[in-house]
A = this chain, B = another copy of it.
Amino acid sequence: MKLETNIGKSYTDKILVHGQDLVDDLIGEASLVDMAFMGAMKRMPDENERKMLEAMMVTICEHGFTPSSMSTRFTYLGAPDSIQSAIAAGLLGAGTVYLGASEQVAELLAKAFDKYGDDQNVESIAKLVLDQVEESNTILPGFGHPIHRPADPRTKKLFDLAEELGISGKNITLLQEISKEFNRRKGKEITLNAVGAMGAIYADMGFDHRIVRAFAVAARAIGLIAHIREEIDTGRKNSVGQKLFDFAEENTDYLPERNSGVIK
């Protein structure tokens, strides 16, 4: 039995990671986004790919007081000696609801081109995609936003970058066409949100939709450093985690820890 891997190979005098010499070529030379890209693609990104992937990962690093960062702060409150647990807890909620649209959009576009071919004009494909969404009574991923209405400024920024960097291709074109057709059918502008937009960009960069969520999760791990840092800085008593805990206790009739006579 052999555990095969293309990630690296060891020789007596050096070690290759993704085809590069770890000590000579990567440490001090490669960037984190290079490592992320090579992990998914098994080759170094070119300058434009690097810039595009980094822009997308930076976009979702940091999201304020979301369920993700609050789980991290809660976990740090209970297990400050286990920082890896605090980060892991924050990543576990980075699932289908908040970050899933990228891969769902990438998959939707891949399936559309598979089914309808690359030759057909995008207007037709966009209509067929929306017909199918309507018939199957499912939700079109990547659209809608509670605040960014009718446009998400990050979407424009990322699409502009993709254009500028020569990355825009058939997937972005199709998603934009779907967006137009969707607006026509709805009779109003519906936000194409940044997480959805990234799905098309990942697809135009050639990423398999099944790896797409891993970029979001890794980016979020970097963003969570800031939240842990703040919990360290404030100290337990003044931490956001403790404040949220206090808030919960003050707004419930159920305090199992407080059952000996004193109920607010």
- Interface residues of chain A, those whose CB is within 8 Å of chain B, are 1-15, 17-18, 22-23, 26-28, 30-36, 38-40, 42, 51, 54-55, 57-59, 61-68, 70-71, 74-89, 91-99, 145-149, 151-154, 157-158, 161, 208, 210-211, 213-215, 217-219, 221-230, 232, 234, 240-241, 243-249, 251-263
Give A159 to B145 CA distance when docked, in angstroms: 48
A-B contacts, 9 listed (Cβ < 8 Å): A11-B263, A12-B261, A15-B254, A23-B154, A64-B249, A64-B255, A76-B93, A83-B217, A84-B92
Copies per assembly: 4
**In the complex, which of the residues B18, B74, B261 contacts A93, with contact meaning CB atoms closer than 8 Å?**
B74
* Cross-chain contact B75 with A248 (CB below 8 angstroms): no
Give A99 to B36 CA distance when docked, in angstroms: 20
CB-nearest residue of chain B to A21? B259
Give A33 to B221 CA distance when docked, in angstroms: 12
Known contacts: A10-B255, A91-B221, A92-B84. The answer to whether A240 contacts B3 by CB under 8 A is yes
* Cross-chain contact B252 with A64 (CB below 8 angstroms): yes
Known contacts: A10-B255, A89-B92, A214-B228. The answer to whether A27 contacts B15 by CB under 8 A is no
Other 19 A-B pairs with CB < 8 A, given A3-B244, A36-B225: A4-B240, A4-B252, A8-B62, A9-B254, A11-B263, A22-B256, A22-B259, A32-B222, A81-B81, A82-B95, A83-B217, A84-B213, A88-B88, A147-B255, A147-B260, A148-B257, A148-B259, A153-B260, A210-B232
